[in-house]
Amino acid sequence: MAAANAKIKVPETARKGEAVEIKTAITHEMESGQRKDEAGKVVPRRIINRFVCRYGGSEVFAMDLQPAISANPYISFFILASESGKVEMAWHDDNGEVYTAAASITVS
């Protein structure tokens, strides 16, 4: 399987208390666990099953994903800009791999 490739979009600046939209997508060769290979054996499930976003070290958004999720999941959500710092994201897959990406936001 090719390595996952995460893309994130976080505003570079925001005003304190402003709701800012965070957008992210990850390229990941999802496998639902319902398909069979050429020999008729079930191909093991391998999906992104958990997404977590931390801002300023605190978890601000998380979700569990199920097999019906798309092959390259796109996620959009809002956070309140409270302080300058890092927005860190982590995607967890069924094989125990964790893919990460981060961006900084300056709050004035």
Which domains, and CATH codes, for the chain? 5-25+44-107 (2.60.40.10)
Check residues 20 and 46 and name the one with the higher pLDDT: 20
Radius of gyration of the CA atoms of the chain, in A: 16
Return d(Cα 72, Cα 108) in angstroms, integer.
34
Tell me the pLDDT band of 4, cut-offs 50, 70 and 90. Answer: confident
In the prediction, which pLDDT does 42 show?
93
Please report which confidence band the pLDDT of residue 1 belongs to, taking 50, 70 and 90 as the band edges: very low
Per the DSSP assignment, residues forming a β-bridge with 61 are 53
Average pLDDT over residues 32-48: 90
Strands 5-9 and 19-27: antiparallel
Q: What is the mean pLDDT of residues 3-11?
A: 89
Residue 3 is predicted with a pLDDT of 62
Provide mean pLDDT across the span 49-57. Answer: 96
Assess whether pLDDT exceeds 60 at residue 2: no
pLDDT at 83: 97
